[in-house]
Structure 1
Amino acid sequence: MIRYSQLYWQFFKKHLKVMMEYRLDFFIGVMSVVLIQFTSIFFVKVVFDQIEDLNGWGFYEVLFIYGVATMGRSIHHIFFDNLWTIGWQYIRPGNFDRLLIRPINPLFHLIADRVQQDGFGQLVIGGLLMAAAMPHLGVEWGPVNLLILLVLIVSSGAIFVAVNLFFATLSFWIVDSLPITFAAFNLSDFARYPLNIYHKGIRWLLTWLIPYGFTAFYPAAAFIEHSGYRELGMITPLIAVISCWLAYRFWKVGLRAFNSTGS
């Protein structure tokens, strides 16, 4: 772990230097994500201007759910965005072979090969949303609750990574799984709103099959007293560990099935 931590820090510093060489591109990327996120939040505000609550959930509660989702996504977006590219950038042109001949874990190398600056915009927006919503939730934000919140946000990010890794691994069989991965990832948009507004089939899908509910709704609901989902929200770290374990096991299966496509 120490060796890989040191290696990742070297990769990360290299990426930051590259991004700072093109500072305008960096800030344009960050601001574009900020503007996109603000558009979505504006839509939520317009909806709540017309209604008092959404099936019992107030504006700041929905804003808090949205903030948790955005923070979790930012972790995935900044550090693990290269998972999207495994099919079309590595396997199809034959570039994955070079990862296999390096004396480090190929999944680590794939992840460390890229840092996505746009994710910093999501991180900023997520922080602002949570800062705006937290004073209105009736929660005493002491050190314990803040630590629990941090653990749940990191767990949210881990679940995003696990789901993306699982579907990206399909590229070992179909060369490019980007359309499938993108379709699955879009389901996470449902989890940015209270899951009890959806049909029970969608709730089950986003809870136990593709656990995006644990990236936003359930961890946020753990701090909302009337939600009735505190216990479910508190098992988010366990769901994250299981999801990452299953995704990595599937990755290992895919790795054994890999055949180089050449260039």
Structure 2
Amino acid sequence: MLEYRADFLIGFFSTFLLQVGGIFFIWVIFDNIGDIQGWTFYEVTLIYGMLTLAKSINHIFFDNLWVLGQQYVRQGKFDVLLLRPISPLFHLVADKIQQDGFGNLVIGIILVTKSVMELGIGFTVLDFFMMLVFVISGGFIFAAINLITTTTSFWFVESNMFMWSTFSLSEFALYPLGIYHKAIGILLTWLIPYAFASYYPAGFFLDKGPIMMSLLTPVIAVVLWFIALRVWNFGISNYSSTGS
């Protein structure tokens, strides 16, 4: 990643500045209205920070899922993955580490740390452990949803429209679910559960919302991966080579 340092730094700072822009937008809102349905600025930035950390895990380690259709199925490279004596999914994921995601990781750490300090949350060893569990689980929730949507490449080749339309819904998870219509809450909780990567884990530390929902985060991650792997294996069973 450091062989071309300028490229690495441009990617790092571009994602970093993109997140800074989003935070500035939130600051402008709160500077004018004070709070959103009882949620303060730093409570919302804690939600924002946790989602950013979860995204960074997905961005760094699972970013290659985005190009399955375009660079592997369409060009016939996926056949090579099937011939090698390792899991084709592991091979696909391991083919690329996305350095741009480190920008998200840094801004996420800064956001969560600053929010915790400003809110006066006293972190114990258990809290640090739970934070780690929530962040890793959130990252795998993002990855599982991306895996499900990218698997459509085996039928449609170009899966980015499905991935982007689903991934864009994660923007709703940057804020408390209570500010949306109930249908949005149901969507982000039970259908496309991005809320388990931000809102519910943040509620665990803020003592807001149902604590049991936050504790379901790793369970949701495991269930989603079980579903994603079943969908992936079904997709592979229906895959036909480029030349077929």
Using the size of structure 2 for normalisation, the TM-score is 0.98
1:83 is the counterpart of 2:65: yes
| Match in the other structure for 1:111 | 93
1:212 to 178, 194, 206: 194
| Match in the other structure for 2:237 | 256
Question: Following superposition of structure 1 onto structure 2, how do residues 182-221 of structure 1 map, counting pairs within 5 Å?
Answer: 182-221=164-203
Displacement after TM superposition at 1:138 (Å):
3.9
Separation of aligned partners in 2, 1:52 and 1:192: 17
Separation of aligned partners in 2, 1:96 and 1:39: 37
1:63 to 18, 41, 45: 45
Aligned residues: 244
Residue 39 of structure 1 aligns with an amino acid whose one-letter code is G
Contact 2:200 2:209 in 1 (8 A): no
Residue 212 of structure 2 aligns with an amino acid whose one-letter code is E
Change in 2 beyond 3 A, CA 1:138/1:229: farther
1:126 to 103, 108, 111: 108
Separation of aligned partners in 2, 1:216 and 1:92: 35
Separation of aligned partners in 2, 1:222 and 1:206: 17
| Match in the other structure for 2:122 | 140
Displacement after TM superposition at 1:100 (Å):
0.4
1:29 to 7, 11, 24: 11
Separation of aligned partners in 2, 1:53 and 1:262: 58
Residue 222 of structure 1 aligns with an amino acid whose one-letter code is F
Displacement after TM superposition at 1:93 (Å):
1.2
1:234 to 187, 212, 215: 215
Displacement after TM superposition at 1:136 (Å):
2.8
Residue 55 of structure 2 aligns with an amino acid whose one-letter code is R
What are the superposed Cα offsets for residues 21-45 of structure 1, whole Å, 9 maximum, x if unpaired? 1011101110011111100000000
Partner of 1:21, secondary structure, is coil
Contact 1:92 1:262 in 2 (8 A): no
Using the size of structure 1 for normalisation, the TM-score is 0.91
User: Gaps spanning 5+ residues in structure 1: where?
Assistant: 1-18
Contact 1:93 1:262 in 2 (8 A): no
Displacement after TM superposition at 1:215 (Å):
1.2
Separation of aligned partners in 2, 1:101 and 1:220: 44
Displacement after TM superposition at 1:140 (Å):
1.9
Separation of aligned partners in 2, 1:130 and 1:24: 28
Displacement after TM superposition at 1:262 (Å):
3.1
Separation of aligned partners in 2, 1:136 and 1:32: 27
Residue 22 of structure 1 aligns with an amino acid whose one-letter code is Y
2:224 to 232, 243, 263: 243
Question: Following superposition of structure 1 onto structure 2, how do residues 1-16 of structure 1 map, counting pairs within 5 Å?
Answer: none
1:159 to 123, 128, 141: 141
Separation of aligned partners in 2, 1:137 and 1:143: 18
Residue 216 of structure 1 aligns with an amino acid whose one-letter code is S
Cα-Cα RMSD = 1.0
Residue 211 of structure 1 aligns with an amino acid whose one-letter code is P
Separation of aligned partners in 1, 2:242 and 2:106: 40
Contact 1:223 1:230 in 2 (8 A): no
Q: Structure 1 runs of 4+ off > 4 angstroms?
A: none
Separation of aligned partners in 2, 1:40 and 1:86: 29
Separation of aligned partners in 1, 2:170 and 2:164: 10
Contact 2:138 2:221 in 1 (8 A): yes
Residue 80 of structure 1 aligns with an amino acid whose one-letter code is F
Displacement after TM superposition at 1:156 (Å):
0.4
Partner of 1:202, secondary structure, is helix
